[in-house]
Structure 1
Amino acid sequence: MVCFRLAPVPGFGLLLLCLVLGAVSSYALELNLTDSENATCLYAKWQMNFTIRYETTDKHNKTVTISDLGAAKYNGSSCGDDQNGPKIAVQFGSGFSWIVNFTEEETSSYSIDSISFSYNTNDSTTFPDAKEKGVFTVSDRVAVRVPLNDIFRCNSLLTLGKNDVVQHYWDVHVQAFVQNGTVSTKEFLCDKDKTLTTVVPIIPTTVPSPTPTPSPKEKPEVGSYSVVNSNGTCLLATMGLQLNITHDKVASVININPNTTNFTGSCHPQTALLRLSSSSIKYLDFVFAVKNENRFYLKEVNVSMYLVNGSVFSIANNNLSYWDAPLGSSYMCNKEQTVSVSGAFQINTFDLRVQPFNVMEGKYSTAEECSADSDLNFLIPVAVGVALGFLIIVVFISYMIGRRKSRTGYQSV
Structure 2
Amino acid sequence: MVCFRLFPVPGSGLVLVCLVLGALRSYALELTLQDSGKATCLYAKWQMTFRVHYETTNKTYKTQTISDLGTVTYNGSICGDDQSGPRIAVQFRSGFSWIANFTKAASTYSIDSISFSYNTSDNVTFPDAKDKGMHTVYHPLGIEIPLNELFRCNSLSTLENNDVVQQYWDVHVQAFVQNGTVSKNEFLCDKDKTSTVVPTIHTTVPSPTTTPTPKEKPEAGTYSVNNGNGTCLLATMGLQLNITQDKVASVINVNPNTTHSTGSCQSHTALLRLNSSTIKYLDFVFAVKNENRFYLKEVNVSVNLVNGSVFSIANNNLSYWDAPLGSSYMCNKEQTVSVSGAFQINTFDLRVQPFNVIEGKYSTAEECSADSDLNFLIPVTVGVALGFLIIVVFISYMIGRRKSRTGYQSV
Equivalent residue for 2:12? 12
Q: Secondary structure at the match of 2:192?
A: helix
- 8 Å CA contact 1:21, 1:28 repeated in 2: no
- 8 Å CA contact 1:304, 1:312 repeated in 2: no
Q: Secondary structure at the match of 2:20?
A: strand
* Correspondences of 1:168-207 after superposition (within 5 Å): 168-199=167-198, 207=204
Q: Secondary structure at the match of 1:125?
A: coil
Cα distance in 1 for partners of 2:20, 2:222 equals: 43
Instruction: Specify the code of the residue in structure 2 equivalent to 1:165.
Output: V
Equivalent residue for 2:66? 66
Structure 1 segments unaligned to the other structure (5+ residues): none
The alignment covers a number of residue pairs equal to: 407
- 8 Å CA contact 2:52, 2:65 repeated in 1: yes
Shift of 1:273: 4.9
Shift of 1:235: 6.1
Equivalent residue for 2:389? 391
The structure-2 alpha-carbon separation of the partners of 1:249 and 1:135, relative to structure 1 and needing over 3 Å to count, comes to closer
Cα distance in 2 for partners of 1:387, 1:73 equals: 70
The structure-2 alpha-carbon separation of the partners of 1:248 and 1:42, relative to structure 1 and needing over 3 Å to count, comes to closer
Instruction: Specify the code of the residue in structure 1 equivalent to 2:43.
Output: Y
Shift of 1:150: 1.0
Shift of 1:20: 2.8
Equivalent residue for 1:83? 83
- 8 Å CA contact 2:33, 2:79 repeated in 1: yes
Shift of 1:244: 2.3
* Correspondences of 1:221-300 after superposition (within 5 Å): 221-225=219-223, 237-246=235-244, 251-265=249-263, 273-287=271-285, 300=298
Equivalent residue for 1:305? 303
Cα distance in 2 for partners of 1:166, 1:117 equals: 10
Equivalent residue for 2:144? 145
Shift of 1:340: 3.7
Structure 2 segments unaligned to the other structure (5+ residues): none
Equivalent residue for 1:50? 50
The structure-2 alpha-carbon separation of the partners of 1:184 and 1:288, relative to structure 1 and needing over 3 Å to count, comes to farther
> Do structure 1's residue 102 and structure 2's residue 98 form an aligned pair?
no
Cα distance in 1 for partners of 2:199, 2:276 equals: 37
Equivalent residue for 1:360? 356
Instruction: Specify the code of the residue in structure 1 equivalent to 2:32.
Output: N
- 8 Å CA contact 1:64, 1:265 repeated in 2: no
Equivalent residue for 2:165? 166
- 8 Å CA contact 1:224, 1:237 repeated in 2: yes
Shift of 1:121: 2.1
**Partner of residue 208 from structure 1, selected from 196, 205, 213:** 205
* Correspondences of 1:312-323 after superposition (within 5 Å): 312-316=309-313, 318=315, 321-323=318-320
Cα distance in 2 for partners of 1:343, 1:300 equals: 15
Which has the larger displacement, 242-251 or 71-80?
242-251
Shift of 1:192: 1.3
Shift of 1:209: 7.7
- 8 Å CA contact 2:239, 2:253 repeated in 1: yes
Task: State the Cα deviation string for residues 63-95 of structure 1 (Å, max 9, x = none).
Answer: 222222243332322222332222112222333
Cα distance in 1 for partners of 2:233, 2:71 equals: 27
- 8 Å CA contact 2:30, 2:44 repeated in 1: yes
**Equivalent pairs: percent with the same residue?**
76
The structure-2 alpha-carbon separation of the partners of 1:393 and 1:325, relative to structure 1 and needing over 3 Å to count, comes to same
The structure-2 alpha-carbon separation of the partners of 1:324 and 1:28, relative to structure 1 and needing over 3 Å to count, comes to farther
- 8 Å CA contact 2:191, 2:246 repeated in 1: no
The structure-2 alpha-carbon separation of the partners of 1:270 and 1:253, relative to structure 1 and needing over 3 Å to count, comes to same
Which has the larger displacement, 4-13 or 389-398?
4-13
Equivalent residue for 2:344? 346
Equivalent residue for 1:382? 380
Cα distance in 1 for partners of 2:120, 2:130 equals: 9
Which has the larger displacement, 401-410 or 387-396?
401-410
Task: State the Cα deviation string for residues 134-158 of structure 1 (Å, max 9, x = none).
Answer: 2111101001011221111111121
Equivalent residue for 1:128? 127
Instruction: Specify the code of the residue in structure 2 equivalent to 1:360.
Output: N
> Do structure 1's residue 403 and structure 2's residue 401 form an aligned pair?
yes
Shift of 1:256: 1.0
- 8 Å CA contact 2:12, 2:78 repeated in 1: no
- 8 Å CA contact 1:154, 1:173 repeated in 2: yes
Instruction: Specify the code of the residue in structure 2 equivalent to 1:76.
Output: G
Shift of 1:389: 1.2
Q: TM-score, normalised by structure 2?
A: 0.82
